[in-house]
Amino acid sequence: MTSMAIDDEPIPVHRRSIALVGLMGVGKSTVGRRLAKRLGLPFADGDIEIEAAAGMTVSDIFAELGEAEFRAGEARVMKRLLAGPRMVLATGGGAILNSDTCAALKARAVTVWMRADLDTVAQRVQRRDTRPLLRGRDPLEALQAMAEVRYPIYETADLAVDAICEALETWWAAAEITT
Ligand code: S3P
């Protein structure tokens, strides 16, 4: 059992950050950026912040230091971001696996699970080769294995949206035309 640190004390909803959670490839960064712009809030991308803190790419951290080190760094970065001012935050797909991160997200953010059908996500992730957990693996099988472990945690998010990036992009574009 983890004890609740003082900075994990729940804060009022209107002061909470908005944290997008969900599997890799669902569009958290793209949507997060757009959402932040529309809400006039700062945006942070967990992976970019980790890379800046480490001075290495996510791929290099996995290759040279291993996943455990990556996860430890990820937890530190998430803690720092969630302790800071209100923002829109795109979390790395595995960030919620850390129980401290999970507790901080619950206390300090409105969490939104971006949920998408795995076949579509498998196609999307093949466009880039930046995700170490997919390297040398069948993307659909890898995503299914991740979903099995992570969906029970993602399901505890405050909100869930059924969407993939393209669908949301279309929606945002339409909203911009009509508002
Ligand atoms: C990971 C997701 C990636 C990145 C790393 C590990 C995961 O972030 O943090 O490759 O465990 O699902 P995105 O979800 O932004 O791709």
Q: What are phi and psi of 151, to 5 degrees?
A: -55, -40
What is the bridge-based pairing of β-strands 17-21 and 159-162?
Answer: unpaired
**Residue (of 16, 40, 62) closest to 157 by Cα position:** 16
- Across the chain, mean pLDDT equals 89
CA of 29 to the centre of ligand 1 (A): 11
pLDDT of residue 14: 87
73 lines ligand 1 (CB under 6 A): no
**Which of 12-16, 121-125, 128-132 has the least mean pLDDT?**
128-132
pLDDT of residue 2: 53
pLDDT mean over 126-138: 87
Please give the number of the atom of ligand 1 that sits closest to the Cα of 130.
10
| Beta-ladder partners of 112 | 20, 159
**Residue (of 175, 146, 167, 126) closest to 21 by Cα position:** 146
CA atoms of 137 and 52, how far apart (whole Å): 27
93 lines ligand 1 (CB under 6 A): yes
pLDDT mean over 121-133: 87
pLDDT mean over 140-155: 97
Domains, the chain, ranges and CATH?
13-178 (3.40.50.300)
- Given ligand 1 and candidates 45, 47, 112, which is best to mutate, with the most ligand atoms within 8 Å of its CB? 47
pLDDT tens for 44-57 read 999 999 999 999 99
In this structure, are residues 58 and 130 in contact, taking their beta carbons and an 8 Å threshold?
yes
| Tally of residues, the chain | 179
pLDDT tens for 94-103 read 999 999 999 9
Tell the residue nearest (CA) to atom 11 of ligand 1: 94
49 lines ligand 1 (CB under 6 A): no
CA atoms of 118 and 49, how far apart (whole Å): 27
Calculate Rg over the CA atoms of the chain: 16
Angle at 145 between CA 50 and CA 115, to 5 degrees: 70
pLDDT tens for 8-60 read 788 988 899 999 999 999 989 989 999 999 999 999 999 999 999 999 999 99
Question: Is the per-residue pLDDT at 174 higher than 70?
Answer: no
pLDDT of residue 162: 85
CA of 127 to the centre of ligand 1 (A): 15
Q: At what angle do helices 28-39 and 165-178 cross, to 10 degrees?
A: 20
